[in-house]
Structure 1
Amino acid sequence: MQDLFGMVGALKRPKLLVSAARFGVEEYHRDSHLPRILRTAGVPRTGTALLRLLEIEEVQDSKRRGHAADYSVARHVDVLIAIMGEAQLLRASARPTAVA
């Protein structure tokens, strides 16, 4: 898990993309968003989804940097939103729970 957090933390993207994603993360619902973003029928576990999202984001960023005609800012932001949402879920599940 620590490696996943490191990978997410290592992302360096333009402030405008990150800001747009931050606005959307509050509305992120993995059950409806992940199948569309990952283009799958089901919803994978959080760690698996995060790895796949990081791969997709890398492709999107390469297209952005290369000024590719098929680059979509909306898709890139969607993927960043999902990365942020999945990282939050993974972080929450990794926290130890207090026993009363």
Structure 2
Amino acid sequence: MDDVSTRLDALRRPRLLIRAARHALRDYDRGKLLRRLLATDRPPAPDRALDRLMDQEDALESARREGDAAYSVSRHIEVLVALIGEARLRRQGAA
């Protein structure tokens, strides 16, 4: 199992965040969301996207836990949506 898979399997987040992300996943537009979250013209391959998204999610989770005033729950949900979507694409590609 690689580092990204290990990190994904170890994610433990509040149920409400995960439920919101799963609900929003229905409207996941990979091109649009990844362009915005990763500041890129074209979305990278799922493995590369997952690595960058995991770094963003780690920073957001730290900010949430510390009660940082700059923490954005909507941004956190967007990153979780992208993580779930990219993980699904990665699994489909591996199958």
3-state DSSP of counterpart to 2:17: helix
**Partner residue, 1:98:** none
**Partner residue, 2:71:** 71
Give the total of aligned pairs.
94
C-alpha distance after superposition, 1:6-56 (max 9, x if no partner): 221110000000010010112112111101111222211110000000000
Residue 7 (1) aligns with residue 19 (2): no
Distance across 2 between alignment mates of 1:86 and 1:28: 10
Residue 86 (1) aligns with residue 86 (2): yes
Distance across 1 between alignment mates of 2:68 and 2:19: 22
Q: Which has the larger radius of gyration?
A: 1
Tell me whether 31-40 or 13-22 shows the greater mean CA deviation: 31-40
Structure 2 stretches lacking a partner, 5+ long: none
3-state DSSP of counterpart to 2:20: helix
Q: 1:1-100 residue pairs with structure 2 within 5 A?
A: 2-3=1-2, 4-95=4-95
TM-score (norm 2): 0.94
C-alpha distance after superposition, 1:39-97 (max 9, x if no partner): 222211110000000000000000000111110000000000000000000000100xx
Structure 1 stretches lacking a partner, 5+ long: 96-100
3-state DSSP of counterpart to 2:27: coil
Distance across 2 between alignment mates of 1:26 and 1:8: 20
Calculate the aligned-residue CA RMSD, in Å: 0.9
